[in-house]
């Protein structure tokens, strides 16, 4: 970003108009009552904000800052609502960045979950080993940013249990996920340790079907759907924000409680 210089008023209006939806979203997230002028954004950022590129950079930096503030405010004891079995949505919707018939076809008998980063035990895990860990069940609502939500039942290992088992540095900032379909995502550590965050093996009373994430997904009922990676191939603990498939295209990284 270049040093601050007086911004031409007409140019400012154009730049502001171009970015109106982003700025409005940012204002809602920042709980600002007053409206942000391009001048105020320029002052906050020390950036001249003349071109769309630098506006993007500023909005991006402010959004990531907002994520950090939300993380600090996050209440680790606040639970997402749970539901009864009769409230389960049937059929349950599918969503991915590709159509349902393209969901990866993974062989569970040779599957290995890779573990890396700030953990003391980097051995991989097969499905029998994951099933031998303590399991818990939840009936919660998955909320997709595209405008639908659905109630489902998932069963698997409380993610905190798994992180403890691999000797993860629980004071690290992020947990990242790489998926078999090249999807990826990441969570703040407080959310990773949240009691309802689950390393999921079963949907309903059977192993996850291919479309819902076989053989392993992360169920995070305190976050939007896109922060619930399916078909997980690798998990890593890090202090560098790993971003995500949608997060890196402008969806708010925190996207949850």
Ligand X SMILES: Nc1nc2c(c(=O)[nH]1)N[C@H]1C(S)=C(S)[C@@H](COP(=O)(O)O)O[C@H]1N2
Binding interface with Mo ion (CB under 5 A) = 95, 144, 225-226
- Residue 97 binds ligand X, judged by CB under 6 A: yes
CB of 75 to ligand X, least distance (A): 24
- Residue 248 binds ligand X, judged by CB under 6 A: no
Residue 83 or 251 with smaller CB distance to Mo ion: 251
CB of 229 to ligand X, least distance (A): 5
- Residue 89 binds ligand X, judged by CB under 6 A: no
Structure tokens at 82: 């749970």
Q: Helices marked H in the chain — which ranges?
A: 9-18, 20-30, 38-45, 52-73, 127-131, 159-165, 189-192
Residue 100 or 164 with smaller CB distance to Mo ion: 100
Q: Residue 124 in 3-state DSSP?
A: coil
Q: Residue 154 in 3-state DSSP?
A: strand
CB of 204 to Mo ion, least distance (A): 20
Q: CA 75 from chain center: how many Å?
A: 17
Is there a contact between 140 and 196 (Cβ–Cβ < 8 Å)? yes
Structure tokens at 115: 């573990």
- Kind and range of the H or E run holding 118: none
- Residue 229 binds ligand X, judged by CB under 6 A: yes
Closest residue (Cβ) to Mo ion? 144
Backbone angles phi, psi at 138, to 5 degrees: -145, 145
Closest residue (Cβ) to ligand X? 225
What does 19 bind: ligand X, Mo ion, none (CB cut-off 5 to 8 Å by kind)? Answer: none
Output the 3-class SS for 85-149: HHHCCCCCCCCCCCCHHHCCCCCCCCCCEEEEECECCCCCECHHHHHCCCCEEEEEEEEECCCEE
CB of 167 to ligand X, least distance (A): 26
Give strand pairing partners of 179: 232
- Residue 144 binds ligand X, judged by CB under 6 A: yes
- Residue 230 binds ligand X, judged by CB under 6 A: yes
d(CA 218, CA 231): 9
The sign of the dihedral angle between the CA atoms of 178, 189, 129, 155 is negative
- Residue 153 binds ligand X, judged by CB under 6 A: no
Residue 194 or 231 with smaller CB distance to ligand X: 231
- Residue 226 binds ligand X, judged by CB under 6 A: yes
- Residue 94 binds ligand X, judged by CB under 6 A: yes
Considering only residues 155-174, where is the footprint of ligand X by CB under 6 A?
Answer: none
Binding-site ranges for ligand X (CB under 6 A):
93-97, 142, 144, 179, 181, 183, 211-212, 225-226, 228-231
């Amino acid at each position: 970003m270049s040093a601050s210089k007086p911004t031409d008023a007409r140019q400012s209006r154009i730049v502001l108009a171009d970015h109106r939806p982003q700025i409005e979203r940012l204002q809602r997230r920042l709980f600002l009552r007053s409206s942000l002028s391009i001048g105020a954004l320029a002052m906050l950022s020390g950036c001249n904000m003349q071109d769309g590129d630098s506006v993007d950079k500023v909005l991006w930096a402010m959004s990531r800052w907002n994520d950090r503030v939300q993380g600090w405010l996050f209440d680790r004891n606040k639970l997402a609502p749970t539901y009864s079995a009769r409230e389960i949505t049937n059929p349950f919707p599918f969503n991915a960045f590709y159509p349902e018939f393209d969901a990866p076809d993974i062989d569970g008998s040779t599957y290995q979950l890779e573990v890396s980063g700030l953990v003391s035990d980097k051995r991989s895990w097969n499905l029998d080993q994951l099933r031998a860990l303590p399991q818990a069940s939840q009936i919660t609502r998955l909320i997709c940013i595209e405008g639908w939500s659905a109630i489902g039942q998932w069963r698997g290992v409380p993610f905190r249990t798994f992180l403890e088992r691999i000797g993860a540095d629980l004071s690290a900032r992020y947990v990242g996920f790489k998926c078999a379909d090249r999807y990826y995502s990441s969570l703040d550590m407080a959310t990773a340790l949240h009691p309802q965050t689950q390393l999921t093996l079963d949907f309903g009373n059977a192993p996850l079907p291919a479309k819902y994430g076989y053989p392993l997904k992360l169920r995070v009922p305190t976050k939007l759907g896109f922060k619930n990676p399916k078909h997980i191939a690798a998990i890593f603990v890090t202090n560098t924000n790993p971003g995500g498939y949608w997060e890196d295209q402008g969806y708010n990284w925190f996207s949850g409680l």
